[in-house]
Amino acid sequence: AQSVAQPEDQVNVAEGNPLTVKCTYSVSGNPYLFWYVQYPNRGLQFLLKYITGDNLVKGSYGFEAEFNKSQTSFHLKKPSALVSDSALYFCAVRDLRDYKLSFGAGTTVTVRA
């Protein structure tokens, strides 16, 4: 079985400061890892994914994520947060051998001006 943990329900940062949203995963094989963002009253939007290769993955809106196999983590980062980054962020994992994408519980990010 595969699972994702997002240990923080909420992350609050000031605009211009670095933003980190944490994610750890558990799969029996090699993982596909994803980050999605949900703005209020909207569906989820894809930010980035890790399949294989370079551990640092760059995505939309200036976000990046670092895959760390030894720590089974896939933290989302942005060097300088914007107020418009305030949203709900979901980490997701899929085992290579499984069709199902399992989502974490989500982390609400609030960026204050």
Partner 1 sequence: DTAVSQTPKYLVTQMGNDKSIKCEQNLGHDTMYWYKQDSKKFLKIMFSYNNKELIINETVPNRFSPKSPDKAHLNLHINSLELGDSAVYFCASSQGLGPRGEKLFFGSGTQLSVL
Please report, as ranges, the residues that interact with partner 1 according to CB under 8 A.
32, 34, 36, 38, 41-46, 49, 51, 88, 90, 94, 96, 99-103, 105-106
Sort strands 87-95 and 73-78 into parallel, antiparallel or unpaired.
unpaired
CA distances from 41 to 26, 44, 67, 88 (A): 30, 10, 30, 11
Q: Quick one: 83 or 96, whose CB is closer to partner 1?
A: 96
d(C-alpha 103, C-alpha 46), whole Å: 13
Q: Which residues of 85-96 are buried (b: 16+ CB within 10 A; e: fewer)?
A: bbbbbbbbbbbe
CB 35 within 8 A of CB 59: yes
CB 64 within 8 A of CB 49: no
Q: Quick one: 49 or 77, whose CB is closer to partner 1?
A: 49
- Shortest reach from residue 59's CB to partner 1, in Å: 10
Q: Quick one: 6 or 85, whose CB is closer to partner 1?
A: 6
Q: Quick one: 10 or 113, whose CB is closer to partner 1?
A: 10
